[in-house]
Structure 1
Amino acid sequence: MISKLCHLLRACFCLPSKHSRPSSPIRRASHYNSKLRANLGIPDPVDRPQPHEPHHLTDPPTPTAPGEPPHPHILSSGRFSTENSAVKFSTSNMSRGELRELFNLIHGTLEHLPYAICGLGAIVDHGFRGRKVSGISILCPIESKDNVRAWASTRGYQLHGDSIGITTPNGLIRRVRIKYLEFGFADLQLTRSSFSNAFVLSIVSLLDNVAAGHLENKRRGDERALTIIANDVFFILDIIASRHTKVNTRFLPTFLGEPFFADFTARYVDARPEMARAGIDVSSTLVKHRTALQLREHHELLGQYGMQGDVVPQAKGQFEYMRDLKNSKSVYTLREKEKDITDIPPVPQLPKPSHQHDGKNVRFLDPNMRPSQSKQKVKNTREPQVRTSGVSNLGRNLTVPKQPKKIDRPVTDWI
């Protein structure tokens, strides 16, 4: 009995030599079983099937006999790589019903992920009717951008570059661009769609999204795009004012920042009144920017003498770090057709000055203007200024109290 047990142990622990080690786990298991049967005196089965090793490991694919199904091929990578370069997105305008179906399809795919519909699609959701939409954009944090593609692939949607193609019930493939924020997604204000279950940017966060688009198109020098974006800004301000929406300034870092606020209010004469009507404290924003300007000037003055001032670099909003899946900056994208549309009314801009005054002399910008006519026009267009001690009169000063009118008392003796 003891000898049989020792024989069994020797058979089990009899390993092959190093040089005869098979190339795969399947072949090694078959080799060990054959060696064990030989040591125990058990004959090998005659009709035992030969082990089959997957093609993607070592061997090239073996041809099959006619009428037999092909051998299975296991992919080692690219499980969700259903990239389709030949996909053609529909460019026709979507109705409100089609937009609702697309929003619900997106929410059904991404409801367990942080996302929000942004851009023109979100503006249309808030009631905008000025432009048509054929595709939409969704926004997510940087850590979720790959998960969005993976979950879209599980639904059978086509992947193409920075977008996914979602087939709507009418058979059209709609483009949904995927964008992400490098930081600050949790600080956005999101809300439910007005006609679907999807999440969209709130009207306040949407205002900051459009403001970032203004800065990007200004950097590119696209004046036509700036006009389109300006109409979007005024529409959002009107919606905020008409719905009496409470504006929380922490959701507007780009809109209230000096680069956008100074440029936009300098371009359009109705900018400050519309902002004030929407509940934005224009006066305090102007004071903050003037203070920052004075600090920068003081810092530059001290820098000439080798010293440094107390200047804090201006922090950018999260929408200014908005990118697509190609890692390109993509803030507020306009369709190619929108660059050529002519049905948008021009936004009234500030009038250009006819002269410049440097404190001593007046220089007229129009060389054809006569000196006598120039003096007369300057005299008629001159506006009274309110002088205050220690306060810069840059722009309209909204904090100076009104001076009481002087009352003329009658000259007489009172009893």
Structure 2
Amino acid sequence: MSSRTSLRSILRGWFATDKYSDTDSEPDGRIESDQDQGSNEAIFLSDDRSMNREAVSEVVDMIAQRFSHIPYAVSGLAAMVYYGYEARPYRVSIVCPEHTRENQKCWARAQGMIPIPRQRHVWGVATSDGIVQQIRVRFPYDFNEMHALKIGTAGSNPVSMLSLAGLADELARTYVNELKHSDHDRQENLAHEMIWILKRIIQCRLPEHALRPERIPHLIRETFWLPFTLSYPESVPLFARAGWSIPNEGWY
């Protein structure tokens, strides 16, 4: 489905009347790439954009095929779903180093991915059921410090994904940012996700996912550790069993 024509032939009948519900979209819900300028054809997205586990896995596999030559890692809620978390994310997020920004954009267009209107670095891809799913690309300055693993089976392109430790560190950074906004509900959601990740690390017992200082530079900082463990003291023994305990001397 790398060509514009084949993508339209799949989607034209599915989304002729649907509207894209995101408030950042174009008013009429259409998706038009730069290649489509001058054409009166458009592709529409369904209102229900949440992704089940099968859709997440399919999009992740597509990312492994289309971005194999660019450094990246699947992150966020979709990565948690891939590890077994029960959720329905609205998009799959990946992180890339800053220096790949322009290459990633050009390659995505060449692969027939659809730029989502008025949303920077968000692309649409069609899964086998004909639904356009979203991939969001972020370019963190500290990409090289994020702990990722290659996951795959023989005969398939391995996918680069943040390890469970890498996801815990990503959550720690987000949690500290949310403290600035005093969003209690958001903090509760992040804490719930962190507890799940810690329990998953303990359950899987794989050393490549264990909490190690070099894998969790944000989690081991006092700015995260103190407010989080004071609010959720039940997490302290879980952190210890997952590989990280309160330091004896000083903070990072």
Structure 1 length as normaliser, TM-score? Answer: 0.46
Counterpart AA for 2:97: P
- Larger mean Cα displacement after TM superposition, 152-161 or 91-100: 91-100
Query: Which residue matches 1:257?
Result: 221
Query: Which residue matches 1:186?
Result: 144
Counterpart AA for 1:174: Q
Cα offset for 1:191?
1.4
Alignment deviations for residues 111-151 of structure 1 (CA, whole Å, 9 cap, x no partner): 0000111000111111212x222311110000112211211
Query: Which residue matches 2:22?
Result: none
- The verdict on how the C-alpha distance between 1:158 and 1:234 changes in structure 2, with shifts beyond 3 A counting, is same
Choose from 235, 240, 243 the match for 1:276. 240
RMSD: 2.4
- The verdict on how the C-alpha distance between 1:192 and 1:166 changes in structure 2, with shifts beyond 3 A counting, is same
Cα offset for 1:283?
4.0
Query: Which residue matches 1:146?
Result: 102
Q: Do 1:125 and 1:194's aligned partners in 2 also have CA atoms closer than 8 Å?
A: no
- The verdict on how the C-alpha distance between 1:98 and 1:221 changes in structure 2, with shifts beyond 3 A counting, is same
Choose from 201, 209, 217 the match for 2:162. 201
Query: Which residue matches 2:129?
Result: 170
Alignment deviations for residues 14-67 of structure 1 (CA, whole Å, 9 cap, x no partner): xxxxxxxxxxxxxxxxxxxxxxxxxxxxxxxxxxxxxxxxxxxxxxxxxxxxxx
> Equivalent residue of 1:280, what SS?
coil
Q: Take 2:50 and 2:115, find their aligned partners in 1: how far apart are those partners?
A: 21
Q: Take 1:179 and 1:283, find their aligned partners in 2: how far apart are those partners?
A: 32
Cα offset for 1:94?
2.5
Q: Where do 1:274-313 residues align within 5 Å?
A: 274-284=238-248, 287-289=249-251
Q: Where do 1:351-362 residues align within 5 Å?
A: none
Q: Do 2:212 and 2:243's aligned partners in 1 also have CA atoms closer than 8 Å?
A: no
- The verdict on how the C-alpha distance between 1:220 and 1:107 changes in structure 2, with shifts beyond 3 A counting, is same
- The verdict on how the C-alpha distance between 1:229 and 1:83 changes in structure 2, with shifts beyond 3 A counting, is farther
Q: Where do 1:300-339 residues align within 5 Å?
A: none
Q: Do 1:90 and 1:173's aligned partners in 2 also have CA atoms closer than 8 Å?
A: no
Alignment deviations for residues 211-234 of structure 1 (CA, whole Å, 9 cap, x no partner): 111112111221111000001111
Cα offset for 1:153?
0.4
Q: Take 1:193 and 1:87, find their aligned partners in 2: how far apart are those partners?
A: 33
Flag the structure with larger Rg.
1
Q: Take 1:283 and 1:213, find their aligned partners in 2: how far apart are those partners?
A: 22
Structure 2, unaligned runs of 5 or more: 1-32
- The verdict on how the C-alpha distance between 1:136 and 1:257 changes in structure 2, with shifts beyond 3 A counting, is same
Query: Which residue matches 1:334?
Result: none
Choose from 215, 239, 243 the match for 2:200. 239
Counterpart AA for 2:243: G
Query: Which residue matches 1:224?
Result: 185
Q: Where do 1:16-415 residues align within 5 Å?
A: 81-82=34-35, 88=45, 91-129=48-86, 131-160=87-116, 161-162=119-120, 163-182=122-141, 184-193=142-151, 197-244=158-205, 245=207, 246-284=210-248, 287-289=249-251
Structure 2 length as normaliser, TM-score? Answer: 0.74
- The verdict on how the C-alpha distance between 1:128 and 1:194 changes in structure 2, with shifts beyond 3 A counting, is farther
- Larger mean Cα displacement after TM superposition, 135-144 or 235-244: 235-244
- The verdict on how the C-alpha distance between 1:221 and 1:205 changes in structure 2, with shifts beyond 3 A counting, is same
Q: Do 2:59 and 2:92's aligned partners in 1 also have CA atoms closer than 8 Å?
A: no
Cα offset for 1:105?
1.4
Counterpart AA for 2:182: G
The number of residues matched between the two structures is 207
- The verdict on how the C-alpha distance between 1:115 and 1:274 changes in structure 2, with shifts beyond 3 A counting, is same
Q: Take 1:194 and 1:155, find their aligned partners in 2: how far apart are those partners?
A: 22
Q: Take 2:144 and 2:218, find their aligned partners in 1: how far apart are those partners?
A: 16
Structure 1, unaligned runs of 5 or more: 1-79, 290-313, 315-415
- The verdict on how the C-alpha distance between 1:193 and 1:95 changes in structure 2, with shifts beyond 3 A counting, is farther
Q: Do 1:90 and 1:175's aligned partners in 2 also have CA atoms closer than 8 Å?
A: no
Cα offset for 1:235?
0.8
Counterpart AA for 1:288: G
Larger RCO (CA within 8 A; separation ≥ 6): 2
